[in-house]
Amino acid sequence: MMIAQTEIKNYTAEEYLEIEIASENRNEYFNGEIIPMTGGTPNHNDISGNLYISLKLALKGKEYRTFHLDQRLWIPTVSIYTYPDVMVLSKPIEMQTGRKDTVINPCFIAEVLSKSTQNYDRSEKFSYYRTIPTFQEYLIIAQDRIHVEHYVKTNINQWIFSEYDDPNITLSFSVFEFQIKIADLYENIEFTAN
């Protein structure tokens, strides 16, 4: 018996954008492949929302724009369209050539980890983000326990890594003036036993 193999269709970036605009769901794009994004959990939404609201208030009136979940990012060096959980961009924000809905110049990105994406967010995705010239700071936040990983660019190809498990620690950002207590990231979060 012969098993038929399903051929993966490769899409151009233009085809992806046409599909994405008409889609009710968000999809990432990586080198010709369209990858559906799964829905978030209540903890994921609360954690990313807590960070977004805190950043939005702290950076009000300053030379930054803050985005949450639905803002598409283009990473040209690796041909990826993605939707970071939280992004901060310096003003003026820069758009992909010919687009009004896709940014290219984040200075800060945060991702809330899920079981299915945690390895990708820590490794390949972080390496793709590092190809963005304006990218300076990365925050990775666990949603199943109190754990935060913080990366700060100190020089070309040099990053400092810090991690925190104590909710009483205050995290200080480097790319812009902002501090947040780890407990505030996890406000209203209920951890469940697995």
Q: What's the pTM value of the predicted model, to 2 decimals?
A: 0.90
Specify which residues 87 forms β-bridges with: 67, 109
Distance CA 38, CA 143 (A): 15
Low-confidence stretches of the chain (pLDDT < 50) are: 1
In this structure, the number of other CB atoms found within 10 A of the CB of residue 61 comes to 5
The pLDDT tens digits for 92-118 are 999 999 999 999 999 999 999 988 778
Q: Is 185 in contact with 51 (CB distance < 8 Å)? A: yes
3-state secondary structure 25-88: CCEEEECCEEEECCCCCHHHHHHHHHHHHHHHHHCCCCCEEEEECCCEEEEHHHCEEECCCEEE
Q: What is the pLDDT of residue 1?
A: 46
Q: What is the pLDDT of residue 111?
A: 96
Q: What is the pLDDT of residue 117?
A: 76
Q: What is the pLDDT of residue 193?
A: 58
